[in-house]
Amino acid sequence: MSNRIDLYQNATVAYEGLLAVNRHLKQCSLPAELVELVFLRVSLINGCAYCIDKHSRDLLKSGMTIDKLVLVPVWHEAGSLFTPREQAALAWSEVMTRIGETAAPDADYQAVIQHFTPEEYSELTVAIALMNAMNRLAIPGRMRPQAARA
C-alpha cells in the first residue's frame, strides 16, 4: 500500500469541520448506537476498511452483540434482530449512499420519516452524508485499520 498525502495535516481546517459535525452527532437526538450502526453500514457499502474496523469496534464497546454486528451487511435478512427503527435507518443509509442509482425515491423517504421526528430525520441524513464524506477521505488516503497495523 502506497503512502499518501495526509489530508488532515494539509486540510486541517476543512477536516476539523467534518470532525465538528461528528462531535455534534455523538450528542444529537439520535441514540449513539444508531449513529454508529449507520456509520458502519455506509462504510460497508463503500468498502472503507478503516471505518468498518473503527465502527465495528465502537459498536462492540457499546454493547452490541457479535451476532447482531456480523449481520449488519444483511440486516434485511435478519428478521427482528434489528428494530423497525434501525431497519428504517439502515434502508435510508443504503438509499443515500447509492444516491447516484436511487435518487432518493419518495417511497423510501416516506418509509424513513415514519420512524423519525423531523429533527431526528435531519440528523440521520447528516450522519449518512458525513460518513460518505469520511469514507471518501479515508479510502484514497489509505487510512489503515487498527486490525491491520503492525
Question: Does 3 have pLDDT greater than 90?
Answer: no
Q: How open is the CA angle 7-51-105, to the nearest 5 degrees?
A: 100
Instruction: Give the other-Cβ count within 10 Å of 45's Cβ.
Output: 17
pLDDT tens digits, residue range 74-114? 999 999 999 999 999 999 999 999 999 999 999 999 999 99
Q: What local confidence, expressed as pLDDT, does residue 7 receive?
A: 85
Contacts of 138 (CB under 8 A, 6+ apart): 48, 50, 51
3-state secondary structure of 102: helix
Give me the phi and psi of 31, to 5 degrees please.
-60, 140
Write down the pTM of the prediction. 0.94
Residue 144: is its pLDDT beyond 90?
no
Confidence of residue 6 (pLDDT cuts 50, 70, 90): confident
User: 28-68 pLDDT, tens per residue?
Assistant: 999 999 999 999 999 999 999 999 999 999 999 999 999 99
